[in-house]
Amino acid sequence: MMKAFIEGIGLLGPGLPGWNASRAILAGTQPHVAAPMTIPTSDWLPPAERRRTGVSVRLALATGREACEQSQRDPGTLATVFTSSGGDSDNQHAICETLATTAREVSPTRFHNSVHNAPAGYWGVATGAMASSTSLCAFDWSFGAGLIEALTWIACEQQPLLLMAYDAPYPEPLRTVRPVPLPFGMALALAPEPSARSLAQLTVGFEAASDRSDPGLPQGLKVLHDAIPAARSLRLLCALAREKHAEVPIDYLSGQQLLATISPP
């Protein structure tokens, strides 16, 4: 079993405009209404870098910033884990279009934005962070893989860490084979020990995949959970919003799942 204490939460998704603004929806006391998303461009970045950022980078920076502000941690001091099932989908699409032409001249800016650790690079520029950073991908199970990586790092290093999970939709024709419908991002500021800032204790272990009952998802959120890999975090976020002890299954590799236990700090 792996353990950490949650000090801050960031969230940005369809009809979910931030953690504090979405808590009643996640707790099931207010209906979820799908609405167009506004993903802010971070004023932490210099103007030139700000203009180059795509959806994935903006999701990571916005949710990471919200989690840091709630935790009252200096983002420049935190180790980070970035996890996404696909990265910058728009730039990947644009590069594929370019490679299908006779010129085949890929823009250097597009190329450096297309690599999977681009959000980590922009985070470093924005915050001055020099701590350990990991960027990973595990297809539909990327949130679970990122959570394992984050908790393993905390157990080994006994230092706080920021986890960011995000996904963005692909344009056609890639959307046909990878139908992620909408952008979604979330972040958790995690610490190895409880403090006055702790919101909850999180314990995670592995178990065989099962039909274990869980607190469920409010109407409207299950569609997001099933369609967007980063939104596999929604069961955990809903449990946190309810502020009660809960055992939450999190989808993982075939034949396995994670069991996350939320309890008072």
Could you give the number of structural domains in the chain? Answer: 1
| Distance, CA of 28 to CA of 216 (rounded, Å) | 10
Task: Kindly state whether residue 208 falls inside one of the protein's structural domains.
Answer: no
Task: Kindly state whether residue 166 falls inside one of the protein's structural domains.
Answer: yes
Strands 133-136 and 246-251: unpaired
SS3 label, residue 144: helix
List CB contacts of 156: < 8 A, sequence separation 6 or more: none
The verdict on pTM exceeding 0.85 is: yes
DSSP for 56-105 reads HHHHHHHHHHHHHHHHT--GGG-EEEEE-SSS-HHHHHHHHHHHTSSS--
Task: Kindly state whether residue 224 falls inside one of the protein's structural domains.
Answer: no
| Distance, CA of 102 to CA of 107 (rounded, Å) | 15
pLDDT, tens digit (0-9, with 9 covering 90-100), for 133-156: 999 999 999 999 999 999 999 999
Q: Mean pLDDT across the stretch 90-106?
A: 84
Residues of the domain holding 189 = 6-195
Q: What is the pLDDT of residue 198?
A: 97
Q: Closest Cα partner for 176 from 240, 120, 93?
A: 93
220: alpha, beta or left, given left = phi > 0 and alpha = psi -120 to 50? left
Q: What is the pLDDT of residue 195?
A: 95
CATH number at residue 101: 3.40.47.10
**Of all residues in the chain, what percent carry a pLDDT higher than 90?**
72
Task: Kindly state whether residue 262 falls inside one of the protein's structural domains.
Answer: no
Task: Kindly state whether residue 222 falls inside one of the protein's structural domains.
Answer: no
Task: Kindly state whether residue 14 falls inside one of the protein's structural domains.
Answer: yes
Give the mean pLDDT of the chain.
Answer: 92
Q: What is the pLDDT of residue 136?
A: 97
DSSP for 25-66 reads HHHTSS---------PPPTTS-HHHHHH--HHHHHHHHHHHH
Task: Kindly state whether residue 213 falls inside one of the protein's structural domains.
Answer: no
Q: What is the pLDDT of residue 213?
A: 59
In this structure, what token pair is assigned to residue 58? 């903006």
Task: Kindly state whether residue 60 falls inside one of the protein's structural domains.
Answer: yes
